[in-house]
């Protein structure tokens, strides 16, 4: 009786490992670039959402014939938005974050408010800064 061995030879295994290595060298830089592009797209989408939210809050402020900043604006969905002069959403908690219904867990962004601005950031070089209606994007380190 002959005994037939089943399995792969060492040469076949080395060839498969070499092919996988070559594919990894080609694919990894493409995935890194995709991650960067997706973070920039998230920040651009957030900028659009903020612009829309500012317009909606200002419209609600003007339609209700409000004046001053003492009274927050209540949106149609019941969300209360803290405002600054002219009905612009504030940068503090309950301001712009409430206006856009910001959720840090689902967005992957961290929100910090300090020194007159709200910062939505992946990191210190990939962020969006909101300051009373003005938006500044920093995408160099995405």
In this prediction, residue 57 carries a pLDDT of 92
Low-confidence ranges of the chain (pLDDT < 50): none
| Closest of 30, 29, 41, 49 to residue 126, by C-alpha | 41
Write out pLDDT tens, residues 1-11.
566 777 788 89
In this prediction, residue 8 carries a pLDDT of 80
In this prediction, residue 133 carries a pLDDT of 85
What one-character DSSP code corresponds to residue 46? H
In this prediction, residue 105 carries a pLDDT of 86
CB burial of residue 29 (10 Å; 0-12, 13-18, 19+): exposed
In this prediction, residue 69 carries a pLDDT of 64
Q: How many CB atoms lie within 10 A of CB 43?
A: 22
The rounded distance, in Å, linking the Cα atoms of 112 and 9 is 57
The rounded distance, in Å, linking the Cα atoms of 44 and 128 is 9
| Closest of 119, 135, 139 to residue 51, by C-alpha | 135
Domain ranges across the chain? 10-138
């Amino acid at each position: 009786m002959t005994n037939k061995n089943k399995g792969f030879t060492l040469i076949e295994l080395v060839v498969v490992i070499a092919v996988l290595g070559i594919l990894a060298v080609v694919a990894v830089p493409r995935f890194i670039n995709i991650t960067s592009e997706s973070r920039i797209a998230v920040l651009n989408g957030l900028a659009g959402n903020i612009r829309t939210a500012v317009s909606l809050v200002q419209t609600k402020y003007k339609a209700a014939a409000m004046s001053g900043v003492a009274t927050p604006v209540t949106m149609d969905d019941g969300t209360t938005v803290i405002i600054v002069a002219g009905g612009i959403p504030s940068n503090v908690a309950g301001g712009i974050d409430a206006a856009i219904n910001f959720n840090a867990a689902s967005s992957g962004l961290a929100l910090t408010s300090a020194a007159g601005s709200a910062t939505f950031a992946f990191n210190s070089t990939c962020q969006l800064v909101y300051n009373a209606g003005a938006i500044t994007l920093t995408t160099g380190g995405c």
